[in-house]
Amino acid sequence: MLGLFFGAMNMTSLLNPRDVQFLLYEYLDCEALLQRPRYGEHSREIFDATIDTARQIAEAKLAPHSSKGDANEPQFDGKTVTLIPETHEAWAAIAGAGFHNAHWDFDEGGLQMPEVILRAAISYFYSANVASSSYSFLTIGAANLLRSFGTPAQKARYLGPMGDGRFAGTMALTEPGQGSALGDIKTSAELQPDGSYRLFGQKMFISGGDQSITENIVHMVLARIKGAPPGVRGISLFLVPKVLVNEDGTLGARNDVALAGLLHKMGWRNTTSTVLSFGEKGGAVGTLLGEAGKGLAHMFQMMNEARIGVGLCAASIAYRGYMLSLEYARERPQGRLPSCRDPHSAQIKLVEHADIRRMLLAQKVYAEGSLALCLYGASLQEDLHTHPDAASRAEAARLLDLLTPVMKSWSARYGCVANDSAIQILGGSGYIREYPLEQLYRDQRLNPIHEGAEAIHGIDLLGRKVVMDNGAAYKLFRNLVAASVAQAAADPALACLTKNFAIPLARLDEVTLKLGALLASDPDRALANATIYLDVFGRVVAAWIWLRQAQAAQAGTNRDASSADFYRGKLQAARYAIDWDLPATAPQFDLLMAADDTAFAMRNDWF
Amino acid sequence: MLGLFFGAMNMTSLLNPRDVQFLLYEYLDCEALLQRPRYGEHSREIFDATIDTARQIAEAKLAPHSSKGDANEPQFDGKTVTLIPETHEAWAAIAGAGFHNAHWDFDEGGLQMPEVILRAAISYFYSANVASSSYSFLTIGAANLLRSFGTPAQKARYLGPMGDGRFAGTMALTEPGQGSALGDIKTSAELQPDGSYRLFGQKMFISGGDQSITENIVHMVLARIKGAPPGVRGISLFLVPKVLVNEDGTLGARNDVALAGLLHKMGWRNTTSTVLSFGEKGGAVGTLLGEAGKGLAHMFQMMNEARIGVGLCAASIAYRGYMLSLEYARERPQGRLPSCRDPHSAQIKLVEHADIRRMLLAQKVYAEGSLALCLYGASLQEDLHTHPDAASRAEAARLLDLLTPVMKSWSARYGCVANDSAIQILGGSGYIREYPLEQLYRDQRLNPIHEGAEAIHGIDLLGRKVVMDNGAAYKLFRNLVAASVAQAAADPALACLTKNFAIPLARLDEVTLKLGALLASDPDRALANATIYLDVFGRVVAAWIWLRQAQAAQAGTNRDASSADFYRGKLQAARYAIDWDLPATAPQFDLLMAADDTAFAMRNDWF
Model confidence band, residue A418 (pLDDT cutoffs 50, 70, 90):
very high
Residues A524-543 pLDDT 10s: 999 999 999 999 999 999 99
Mean residue pLDDT of chain B comes to 96
Residue B279 backbone phi and psi in degrees, to 5: 85, 30
Residues B68-125 pLDDT 10s: 999 999 999 999 999 999 999 999 999 999 999 999 999 999 999 999 999 999 999 9
Q: For chain A, positions 196-215, list CB contacts with chain B under 8 A.
A: 204-205
Mean pLDDT of B516-542: 97
Mean pLDDT of A548-573: 96
* Smallest CA–CA distance from B449 into chain A, residue: A427
Residues A350-401 pLDDT 10s: 999 999 999 999 999 999 999 999 999 999 999 999 999 999 999 999 999 9
Contact state of A455 with B580 under an 8 Å Cβ cutoff: no
d(CA B114, CA B569): 29
Q: Distance of CA B321 to CAs B179, B423, B547, B575, B592, Å?
A: 30, 8, 24, 21, 33
Q: Does B430 touch chain A (CB under 8 A)?
A: yes
Contacts with B205 from chain A: Cβ below 8 Å? 428
Contact state of A266 with B441 under an 8 Å Cβ cutoff: yes
Q: Closest Cα to residue B288, out of B228, B213, B216?
A: B228
Min Cα separation A408/chain B (Å): 15
Residues B359-407 pLDDT 10s: 999 999 999 999 999 999 999 999 999 999 999 999 999 999 999 999 9
Q: Mutate which of A519, A596, A598 to disrupt the B interface (most B C-beta within 10 Å)?
A: A598
Mean pLDDT of B347-356: 97
Min Cα separation A523/chain B (Å): 6
Contact state of B354 with A600 under an 8 Å Cβ cutoff: yes
Q: For chain B, positions 367-386, list CB contacts with chain A under 8 A.
A: none
Is the pLDDT at B309 greater than 50? The verdict is: yes
The answer to whether the beta carbons of residues B109 and B147 sit under 8 Å apart is no
Which sequence positions of B are flagged as catalytic?
Answer: 451
- DSSP three-state, residue A411: helix
**Residue environment code for B254-284, b if the CB has 16+ CB neighbours within 10 A, otherwise e:** ebbbbbbbbbbbbbbbbbbbbbbbbbeeebb
Mean pLDDT of A206-226: 97
- DSSP three-state, residue A130: helix
Name the catalytic one among A247, A451, A454, A510.
A451
Give the Cβ contact number of residue B78 at 10 Å. Answer: 7
- pLDDT at residue A4, as a whole number: 44
- Positions of E strands within A397-438: none
d(CA B488, CA B555): 11
Q: Distance of CA B173 to CAs B155, B161, B221, B228, B460, Å?
A: 21, 23, 6, 17, 18
Q: Does B122 touch chain A (CB under 8 A)?
A: no
d(CA A308, CA A126): 13
Q: Does A337 touch chain B (CB under 8 A)?
A: yes
- pLDDT at residue B1, as a whole number: 43
d(CA B605, CA B104): 55
Min Cα separation A458/chain B (Å): 10
The answer to whether the beta carbons of residues B498 and B547 sit under 8 Å apart is yes
Is the pLDDT at B459 greater than 60? The verdict is: yes
The identity of residue A436, as a single letter, is P
Q: Is A395 a catalytic residue?
A: no
- pLDDT at residue A195, as a whole number: 96
Q: Mutate which of A434, A590, A607 to disrupt the B interface (most B C-beta within 10 Å)?
A: A607
- pLDDT at residue B343, as a whole number: 87
- DSSP three-state, residue A448: coil
Question: A282-286, A349-353, B8-12, B392-396: which has the minimum mean pLDDT?
Answer: B8-12
Contact state of A458 with B355 under an 8 Å Cβ cutoff: yes
Q: Does A252 touch chain B (CB under 8 A)?
A: no
Q: Distance of CA B150 to CAs A102, B100, B158, B237, B300, Å?
A: 73, 17, 10, 11, 15
Model confidence band, residue A503 (pLDDT cutoffs 50, 70, 90):
very high
d(CA A134, CA A143): 14
A349: Cβ contacts below 8 Å, ≥ 6 apart: A329, A330, A331, A332, A333, A334, B604
d(CA B129, CA B140): 17
Contact state of A181 with B335 under an 8 Å Cβ cutoff: yes
Residue A40 backbone phi and psi in degrees, to 5: -60, -30
Q: What angle do CA A114, A120, A121 make, to 5 degrees?
A: 90
Contact state of B566 with A606 under an 8 Å Cβ cutoff: yes
Contacts with B356 from chain A: Cβ below 8 Å? 455
- pLDDT at residue A303, as a whole number: 87
Residues A177-203 pLDDT 10s: 877 788 889 999 999 999 999 999 999
- DSSP three-state, residue A332: coil
d(CA A543, CA A577): 5
Q: What pairs with residue A285 in β-bridges?
A: A198
Mean pLDDT of B602-607: 97
Residues B28-61 pLDDT 10s: 999 999 999 999 999 999 999 999 999 999 999 9
Model confidence band, residue A6 (pLDDT cutoffs 50, 70, 90):
low
Mean pLDDT of B489-518: 98
d(CA A279, CA B273): 49
Q: HEC profile for A209-223?
A: CCCCCCCEEEEEEEE
Q: Does A82 touch chain B (CB under 8 A)?
A: no
Contacts with B352 from chain A: Cβ below 8 Å? 604
Q: Mutate which of B171, B259, B332, B355 to disrupt the A interface (most A C-beta within 10 Å)?
A: B355
Contacts with B530 from chain A: Cβ below 8 Å? 355
Model confidence band, residue B181 (pLDDT cutoffs 50, 70, 90):
confident
Selecting from B1, B445, B530 the residue whose C-beta is nearest the C-beta of A260 gives B1
The identity of residue A61, as a single letter, is K
- pLDDT at residue A512, as a whole number: 98
The answer to whether the beta carbons of residues A150 and A105 sit under 8 Å apart is no
Min Cα separation A499/chain B (Å): 14
Q: What is the CA radius of gyration of chain A?
A: 24
Mean pLDDT of B249-274: 98
Q: Closest Cα to residue B429, out of B66, B34, B40, B6?
A: B6
Distance of CA B315 to the CA centre of its chain: 7
Q: Closest Cα to residue B240, out of B281, B282, B196?
A: B196
Model confidence band, residue B302 (pLDDT cutoffs 50, 70, 90):
confident
Is the pLDDT at B3 greater than 60? The verdict is: no
- Proportion of chain B in helix, strand, coil states, percent, rounded to 5: 60, 10, 30
How do strand A216-225 and strand A167-172 relate by DSSP bridges? parallel
Q: What angle do CA A113, A115, A120 make, to 5 degrees?
A: 100
Q: Does A32 touch chain B (CB under 8 A)?
A: no
- DSSP three-state, residue A172: strand
Give the Cβ contact number of residue B106 at 10 Å. Answer: 10
The answer to whether the beta carbons of residues A569 and A499 sit under 8 Å apart is no
d(CA A545, CA A371): 10
The identity of residue A355, as a single letter, is D
d(CA A531, CA B222): 48
Mean pLDDT of B294-301: 93
Q: Does B416 touch chain A (CB under 8 A)?
A: yes
